[in-house]
Amino acid sequence: MRTRLGVAAGRVAGSLSRVTGRGAGATISGRVINVVAPGALAELGAGRHIALVSATNGKTTTTCLLTAALTTNGRRVATNSTGANLTSGIAPTLAAAGDADTAVLEVDERVLPRVVDPLAVELLVLGNLSRDQLDRYGEVHLLADAWRRVAETHPRLGIVANASDPHVVWAASPAQVTWVALGLGWRLDAASCPACGELLDWADDRFRCPSCGFAQPETPNRLEGDTLVLDDQRAPLRLAVPGQWNVANAALAVTAAVEHFSVPLAEAARAVGSVTTVAGRYMQVPLGDGRTARVLLAKNPAGWSEVLRFLAGIDTAVVIAVNARVADGKDPSWLWDVPYELLRGHAAAAAGERCLDVAVRLRYAEVDHVVEPDPLAAARALPGDTVHLVCSYTQFSALYRHFGDGPA
């Protein structure tokens, strides 16, 4: 009864939020549900197969790709496709799930340990852990330790995890893990062993602690360029979304679909290749001068580095649009940890509320640039047929609300 009342009250609150122009209504709806019915998550999730996806970078995309792989196999899947990954976003997603037999839910890294038990989760998909908004999240090892406690208290829990990230390996090891070696390049947040604190040795995309023996797990599952290898099966991952980082996201999604949900490998690989945009990521926005700009989201040093490596290899002008609000992280000192030197030779612009901070960083990186706070005006000021607009979270959200009908 309390859950039904909470859902009804949440719908009213969401409607009022939309009517008054205060927002899309999803967050307030979930907050009302959880206040009125503290046990709502358990009841709303009952009877469904539930998989949670979490990572510092890529969880929204991985969730979307896994949903595509399961839907093509005939499952009825509920998912929080807009990235509302707190309990306030999960509750209304499940309340609106109808007859869905499966839920694939993106979950914030900090929230993950709190929802595994209420949702009776069957599968975790764990991508990566790196610095992100230290003023809100704290150090990376604290998150890894919190995830590890989940694995220790649920040793039979199924996990699909990135074998190339020391923090993820430390966190997931006590449970039943299907490892996938992704070979991602960001190592600056994984210098020390999460088990004993000594410096890790890195060689050939593998890590090992010379002190305690903690090391990258052996696995037949790996990413070879754009090809996923699962035991003796191989499948090319031909994606419509850009970047090697998304190939890694797809490898996790496909592995989860194959190993836990018994989707044929070729079928899952084809399904993830059909995804063209993810909650506004990679959308094209008009500039008003006959050109469009592709929008990319980057939130922290690891994510920015992956995006810049992609942009460095193509002929494009680049706008760097950065805010420093709560959702972005109020401390923009991370700009100095990002290799903006990769943009040398590209037409570039510093934009956003912290455009002057960006401009100083680009100057020291010896990247020629213009300064224009408005990201769309900045894009119009740049030459060339191709423009990429790389945004911090609140800059991206503003564009998504305006052009992509995203949540407020």
Residue 189, amino acid: D
49 vs 121: CA distance, rounded Å = 7
Rg, the chain, Cα only: 21
Q: Are residues 265 and 158 in the same domain?
A: yes
Torsion of CA 155, 161, 163, 166, to 10 degrees: -70
Q: Are residues 89 and 205 in the same domain?
A: yes
Query: Tell me, what's the pLDDT at 53?
Result: 98
Q: pLDDT in tens for each of the 408 residues of the chain? A: 777 776 676 676 666 766 666 666 567 777 777 777 678 899 999 999 999 999 999 999 999 999 999 999 889 999 998 788 999 889 999 998 999 999 999 999 999 999 999 999 999 999 999 988 655 555 789 999 999 999 999 999 999 999 999 999 999 999 999 999 999 778 888 999 999 999 999 987 799 999 999 999 999 999 999 999 999 899 999 999 999 999 999 999 999 999 999 999 999 999 999 999 899 899 999 999 999 999 999 999 999 999 999 999 999 999 999 999 988 989 899 999 999 999 999 999 999 999 999 999 999 999 999 999 999 999 999 999 999 999 999 999 999 988 875 554
Torsion of CA 138, 62, 265, 205, to 10 degrees: -40
Q: Are residues 99 and 241 in the same domain?
A: yes
285 vs 171: CA distance, rounded Å = 39
Q: Are residues 87 and 134 in the same domain?
A: yes
131 vs 140: CA distance, rounded Å = 6
Q: Are residues 91 and 217 in the same domain?
A: yes
Q: Are residues 235 and 295 in the same domain?
A: no
338 vs 357: CA distance, rounded Å = 13
Report phi then psi at 52, rounded to 5: -110, 140
279, part of any domain: no
Residue 58, amino acid: G
Query: Tell me, what's the pLDDT at 36?
Result: 73
176, part of any domain: yes
Range of the domain at 5: 1-36
Query: Tell me, what's the pLDDT at 408?
Result: 41
390 vs 396: CA distance, rounded Å = 8
Residue 337, amino acid: D
Sign of CA dihedral 31, 32, 33, 39: positive
Q: Are residues 301 and 168 in the same domain?
A: no
Q: Are residues 181 and 302 in the same domain?
A: no
Q: Are residues 47 and 16 in the same domain?
A: no
Query: Tell me, what's the pLDDT at 24?
Result: 63
Q: Which residue has the tokens 């020291």?
A: 364
Q: Are residues 243 and 105 in the same domain?
A: yes
404 vs 285: CA distance, rounded Å = 9
277, part of any domain: no
323, part of any domain: yes
Query: Tell me, what's the pLDDT at 270?
Result: 97
Distances (CA, A) of 307 to 36, 46, 304, 338, 392: 42, 39, 5, 10, 12
278, part of any domain: no
Q: E strand or H helix at 234, and its extent?
A: strand 233-236
Tell me the CATH number at 83.
3.40.1190.10
Q: Which of 252, 272, 292 is the last residue of a domain?
A: 272
Q: Which of 272, 294, 311 is the last residue of a domain?
A: 272
- Tally of domains within the chain: 3
Torsion of CA 203, 205, 206, 209, to 10 degrees: 60
408, part of any domain: no
CB atoms within 10 A of CB 396: 28
Tell me the CATH number at 295.
3.90.190.20
346, part of any domain: yes
Query: Tell me, what's the pLDDT at 339?
Result: 96
The angle that helices 265-272 and 244-259 make with each other, rounded to 10 degrees, is 140
Q: Which of 237, 272, 307 is the last residue of a domain?
A: 272
Q: Are residues 224 and 337 in the same domain?
A: no
Q: Are residues 137 and 164 in the same domain?
A: yes
Distances (CA, A) of 252 to 93, 257, 373: 23, 9, 37
List beta partners, residue 281. 278
Q: Which structure tokens are listed for 239?
A: 């994606």
374, part of any domain: yes
